[in-house]
């Protein structure tokens, strides 16, 4: 076991830099340790939550009264085999995209700026710039609640916009295989550079956040609706809708989870009053609020 801690502040493990403590916090080094932890917690009636980079997550101010299992550096291996990449769940998407580009493989440039892990990206079918994980996923290796391991195709995981059935399965992503297309290394790297420049220009990267605050509604764009409803700069406590990009909710100054939830509600209320559309949070919630 790489780390095992009691009452570990989860603000140390999320991109929002918000959240109370986990009663138990583990960073396993092997698959066997993950399986044994899950089975032990199940036997003892302890709730579990698995996190990667914590980049799309809001943890409650009271923390999580259970066991948090983080798949990090010990699960970050990436292998190239022809036009396929196999990546462990803890591999960072940015590293996956760079590995693909350096191998002259096209299809993952969209992922270069997403600050998450492979496992987390599959759980929510992460995407950007017109690409998403389901476009390139061949199969994923999941650890099921009974301790067994099974391979699932993308179709079996029911990937759709910011959704998979992995949470419903109660499963943990261990690894995934991606099928890519041959491409020119320099062209792929140039595409990644354009996306990076666009992010720096348009997104509030200087503040802690969880990325896009709301999912894209059918036929529209969340940021446009938020801007039209006058939500830019909307602030409660230390949390606010970014002045730079209305789609981002940022931690300006020691925000609490309660601050974030209040901003989310007020922003959604304003948009609904103005357009009749109720925005759904893209941020995932964990713990007691």
**Per-residue pLDDT tens over the stretch 197-236:** 999 999 999 999 999 999 999 999 999 999 999 999 999 9
Burial class (CB in 10 A: 0-12, 13-18, 19+), 227: middle
The whole domain housing 66 covers 3-73
pLDDT of residue 159: 97
- The answer to whether residue 80 sits within a structural domain is yes
Same structural domain, 36 and 96: no
Total domains present in the chain: 3
Q: What is the pLDDT of residue 73?
A: 75
Q: Are 83 and 158 part of one and the same domain?
A: yes
Residue 262 covered by a domain = yes
Rounded CA gap, 81 and 83, in Å? Answer: 6
Domain limit, last residue, from 152, 187, 222: 187
Residue 105 has pLDDT above 90, yes or no: yes
Q: Note the pLDDT of residue 268.
A: 99
Identify the pLDDT of residue 18: 98
Would you say residue 91 has pLDDT above 90? yes
3-state SS, residue 109: helix
CA distances from residue 192 to 100, 110, 113, 228 in whole angstroms, order as listed: 11, 7, 8, 30
Question: What confidence score (pLDDT) does residue 2 get?
Answer: 79
Contact 107, 181 (CB under 8 A): yes
Q: List all residues 6 or more positions away from 173 whose beta carbon is below 8 Å from its beta carbon.
A: 89, 118, 119, 122, 123, 140, 141, 142, 166
Q: How high is the pLDDT of residue 222?
A: 98
Domain with residue 210: its CATH number is 3.90.78.10
Instruction: Please report whether residue 198 resides in a domain.
Output: no
- Residue 192 domain-assigned? no
282 classed as catalytic: yes
Query: Do residue 168 and residue 221 come from a single domain?
Result: no
* 194 domain-assigned: no
pLDDT in the model for residue 252? 98
95 and 14: one domain?
A: no
CATH number of the CATH domain containing 53:
3.30.43.10
Q: Is 148 a catalytic residue?
A: no
164 is catalytic: no
The model's pTM is: 0.93
Q: What's the average model confidence in pLDDT over 169-191?
A: 97
Residue pair 23/66 in contact (Cβ under 8 Å)? The answer is yes
Residues 165 and 97 in one domain: yes
Condensed to tens digits (0 to 9), the pLDDT of residues 252-266 reads 999 999 999 999 999
Q: Residue 74's pLDDT is what?
A: 83
If asked whether residues 180 and 110 sit together in one domain, one would say yes
pLDDT given for residue 219 in this prediction: 92
Q: Which of 35, 98, 162, 270 is catalytic?
A: 162
Last residue of a domain, one of 187, 217, 247: 187
Contact yes or no for 213/248 (Cβ under 8 A)? yes
- Of 210, 212, 240, 265, residue with least CA distance to 18: 210
What is the token pair recorded at 178? 């991606």
Q: What is the pLDDT of residues 36-76, one digit of tens each?
A: 999 999 999 999 999 999 999 999 999 999 999 999 778 99
Q: What integer pLDDT is reported at residue 136 of this predicted model?
A: 98
Catalytic residue among 11, 55, 106, 212: 212
For residue 132, the model assigns a pLDDT of 97
- Any domain includes 177: yes
């Amino acid at each position: 076991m790489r780390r095992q801690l009691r009452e570990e502040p989860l603000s140390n493990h999320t991109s929002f830099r918000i959240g109370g403590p986990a009663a138990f916090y583990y960073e396993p080094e092997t698959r066997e340790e993950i399986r044994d932890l899950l089975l032990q917690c199940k036997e003892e009636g302890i709730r579990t939550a698995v996190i990667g980079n914590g980049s799309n997550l809001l943890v409650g101010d009271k923390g999580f009264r259970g066991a948090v299992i983080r798949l990090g550096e010990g699960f970050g291996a990436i292998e190239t085999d022809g036009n396929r990449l196999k990546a462990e769940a803890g591999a960072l998407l940015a590293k996956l995209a760079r590995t693909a580009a350096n191998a002259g493989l096209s299809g993952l440039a969209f992922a270069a700026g997403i600050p998450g892990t492979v496992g987390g990206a599959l759980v929510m079918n992460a995407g950007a710039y017109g690409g998403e994980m389901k476009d390139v996923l061949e199969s994923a290796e999941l650890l099921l609640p009974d301790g067994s391991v099974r391979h699932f195709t993308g179709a079996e995981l029911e990937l759709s916009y910011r959704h998979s059935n992995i949470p419903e399965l109660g499963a943990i992503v261990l690894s995934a295989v991606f099928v890519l297309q041959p491409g020119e290394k320099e062209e792929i790297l140039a595409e990644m550079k354009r996306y990076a420049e666009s992010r720096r220009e348009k997104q509030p990267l200087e503040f802690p956040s969880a990325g896009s605050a709301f999912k894209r509604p059918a036929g529209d764009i969340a940021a446009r609706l938020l801007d039209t409803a006058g939500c830019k700069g909307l602030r409660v406590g230390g949390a606010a809708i970014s002045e730079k990009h209305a789609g981002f909710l940022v931690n300006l100054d020691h925000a609490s989870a309660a601050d974030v939830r209040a901003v989310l509600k007020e922003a959604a209320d304003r948009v609904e009053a103005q357009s009749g559309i109720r925005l759904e949070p893209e941020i995932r919630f964990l713990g007691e609020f």
